[in-house]
């Protein structure tokens, strides 16, 4: 499997993947699925629409990120996977997501962005820990911590992390953790560049 930026030839597969998902953080998304499709299908250089494809050129997952030319961090906005039977979902999610996430982290470093923020629906972070474990370049190079725990029915204190609610038109119905990751100084091109706690 490999990752690449969005190309129009994958548009129908992308639409199928997004439409195959019915909920996000416990909120039904069927009424706003077109907004997610419209949001993802872009060639804006500051909107990283990334695909994970297999050797047969089938899209297995999509991940949306936002780069910044004004702020010293980047965000993982959302991700969708091709719907799978429950018994295969966790294993396949970890395998596929690791390919896409590792691609994004390396792209961010090329842009000189060493901090990332993302929301995950897992209070003790087991999902991301499992993902990082199969991607040593992330696990060994980055440090992660919880920035905020958003309880069901609440909003983030930070506008930058409220993008999903703006599309969904509702607060989360599951606990969402906003996590912060930063590249350790010894792996930075400029080891003195440190933007931690810029919010």
Q: Is the model more confident about 55 or about 93? A: 55
For the segment 141-166, what is each residue's pLDDT rounded down to a tens digit?
Answer: 999 888 888 888 777 787 666 655 55
Cα 162 to Cα 167: distance, rounded to the nearest angstrom: 9
Mean per-residue pLDDT over the chain, rounded: 79
The listed range with the strongest mean pLDDT (67-76, 96-105, 117-126) is 96-105
Helix (H, G, I), strand (E, B) or coil at 42: coil
Cα 78 to Cα 161: distance, rounded to the nearest angstrom: 11
Cα 76 to Cα 66: distance, rounded to the nearest angstrom: 7
Flag whether pLDDT at 9 surpasses 90: yes
**Residue in 26, 24, 29 with CA at minimum distance from that of residue 152:** 26
Predicted TM-score (pTM) of the model is 0.80
Cα 127 to Cα 109: distance, rounded to the nearest angstrom: 23
- DSSP secondary structure string for all residues of 89-100: HHHHHHHHHHHH
Helix, strand, coil fractions of the chain, as percent rounded to 5: 35, 25, 35
Relative to beta strand 59-66, strand 47-53 is antiparallel
Cα 25 to Cα 145: distance, rounded to the nearest angstrom: 20
Contact yes or no for 78/40 (Cβ under 8 A): no
Spatial strand order of the sheet with 142-150 comes to: 2-5, 47-53, 59-66, 74-81, 115-120, 176-183, 142-150
- Which secondary-structure segment (H or E) carries 61? strand 59-66
> Which domains, and CATH codes, for the chain?
2-187 (3.40.630.30)
Flag whether pLDDT at 95 surpasses 60: yes
Flag whether pLDDT at 86 surpasses 70: no
Distance of CA 100 to the CA centre of its chain: 9
């Amino acid at each position: 499997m490999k990752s690449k930026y969005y190309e129009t030839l994958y548009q129908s597969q992308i639409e199928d993947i997004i439409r195959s998902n019915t909920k996000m953080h416990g909120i039904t998304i069927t009424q706003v699925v077109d907004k997610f499709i419209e949001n993802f299908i872009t060639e804006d250089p500051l909107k990283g629409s990334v695909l994970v494809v297999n050797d047969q050129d089938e899209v297995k997952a999509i991940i949306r990120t936002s780069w910044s030319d004004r702020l010293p961090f980047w965000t993982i906005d959302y991700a969708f996977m091709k719907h799978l039977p429950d018994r295969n979902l966790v294993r396949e999610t970890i395998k596929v997501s690791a390919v896409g996430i590792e691609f994004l982290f390396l792209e961010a470093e090329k842009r000189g962005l060493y901090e990332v923020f993302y929301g995950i629906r897992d209070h003790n972070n087991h999902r991301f820990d499992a993902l990082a474990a199969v991607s040593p370049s992330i696990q060994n190079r980055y440090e992660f911590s919880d920035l905020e725990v958003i309880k069901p029915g609440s909003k983030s204190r930070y506008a930058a992390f409220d993008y999903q609610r703006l599309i969904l038109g509702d607060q989360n119905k599951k606990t969402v953790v906003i996590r912060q990751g930063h590249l350790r100084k010894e792996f930075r091109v400029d080891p003195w560049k440190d933007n931690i706690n810029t919010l």
